[in-house]
Amino acid sequence: MSEAKKINYKDTLNLPRTTFPMKANLSQKEPEIQKRWERIKLYERIRENSQGREKFIFHDGPPYANGPIHLGHLLNKVLKDIVVRSKTMLGYDVDFIPGWDCHGLPIEHKVLKDLGDKAKDLTKLQIRYKCQADAEKFVKMQSKQMQKLGTIANYENPYLTMTPDYEAGVLDVFSRLVERGLVYRDLKPVHWSIENQTALADAELEYYDRKDRSIYVLFEIKTPESLPEDLNVPDGITPSLMIWTTTPWTLPANLAVAASPDGDYGLYKVIKDGNEYYTILVDNLAERVFGKAGADSFEKLGGC
């Protein structure tokens, strides 16, 4: 038998013809696309074409300027870019201004870590200038990296929390809040970083599960004569304030004991293992606390 004739099935199919290459080659193609966007001033042209349309306000919650971008930045910026582009295509005027947070512990921590022992020889103002320079460096770095992701925004005029105009805007808004009576003074705990010597925001605290002892601790009062007379402190006795904590590792940094203005407190004489203790604690917890502490006996001397 003669060899079967080969059939070129490609010639029998009605396939579209395109100039698109078979290979994506993104590592080369994407920089070319972004250079073209820059050359034709894509963002500026979009802004010109959007003038007079209904505005869509989209705030960029700023990332910290303390290092190169990571996967979290990528997800954040790409999702925002989808919103910006979709709203623009729906006919809205979207002037998306990217921003950077140039203050706070992450920047301070990185600068102090890089300085090492040199930080001890610098003043607070010198360290602040170091933080400013570090933030400026990473703003430029992150801006370029975010643009390489293909995002479009007003990268030429970002907002930075450390610029005078931004800080002036914060003061202006704050003053108007004060005028409207929305600002008041009160007490609240402020978390403190011992290592970095700076205050911590609640969002900067990270907790992990840990099993530890809960303990009762006596804090001796330095000036017993300043206590209320109704406590009936015996002459020559220095009582203590009792606290309970589930975080005993924080005791070395303890600077104060909190008392409730609504609580009824009493001075108690406690006998344990033949020793006498005089301690002040809230009345409704006395029996339970002394029972757990293994006290032989206790007696209330006075209250306030």
pLDDT at residue 278 in the model: 92
Contact 277, 289 (CB under 8 A): no
Residues 29 and 174 in one domain: yes
At 25-52, the pLDDT tens digits run 888 888 898 899 989 999 899 999 999 9
Q: Are residues 42 and 175 in the same domain?
A: yes
Give the DSSP letter string of 83-103.
Answer: HHHHHHHTT-B-----EEB--
Residue 13 covered by a domain: no
Residue with tokens 């978390």: 191
CATH number of the domain that residue 70 is part of: 3.40.50.620
CA distance 42 to 85: 12
pLDDT digits (tens, 9 = 90+) for 173-192: 999 999 999 999 998 888 88
Could you tell me if 112 and 246 lie in one domain? Answer: no
Q: How far is residue 282's CA from residue 266's CA, in Å, rounded to a whole number?
A: 6
Residue 1 scores a pLDDT above 50: no
Containing structural domain, residue 253: 215-303
For the residues 42-65, what does the mean pLDDT come to? 92
Is position 105 within any domain?
yes
Whether 1 is in a domain gets the answer: no
CB atoms within 10 A of CB 88: 19
Which of 78-92, 146-160, 253-267 has the lowest average pLDDT?
A: 253-267
pLDDT tens-digit series, residues 187-219: 888 888 877 778 888 887 888 887 878 888 999
Q: Which two tokens stand for residue 229?
A: 């007379």
* Stated pTM of the model: 0.62
Q: Indicate whether 99 and 155 sit together in one domain.
A: yes
Q: Kindly indicate the confidence band of residue 74, based on its pLDDT and cuts at 50, 70 and 90.
A: very high
252 with 139, same domain? no
Let me know whether 172 and 31 are in one domain. Answer: yes
Amino acid 27: pLDDT: 85
145 and 281 both lie in a single domain: no
**Helix or strand run (H / E) with residue 77:** helix 71-89
* pLDDT tens by residue, 291-301: 888 889 999 99
* Position 2 pLDDT exceeds 60: no
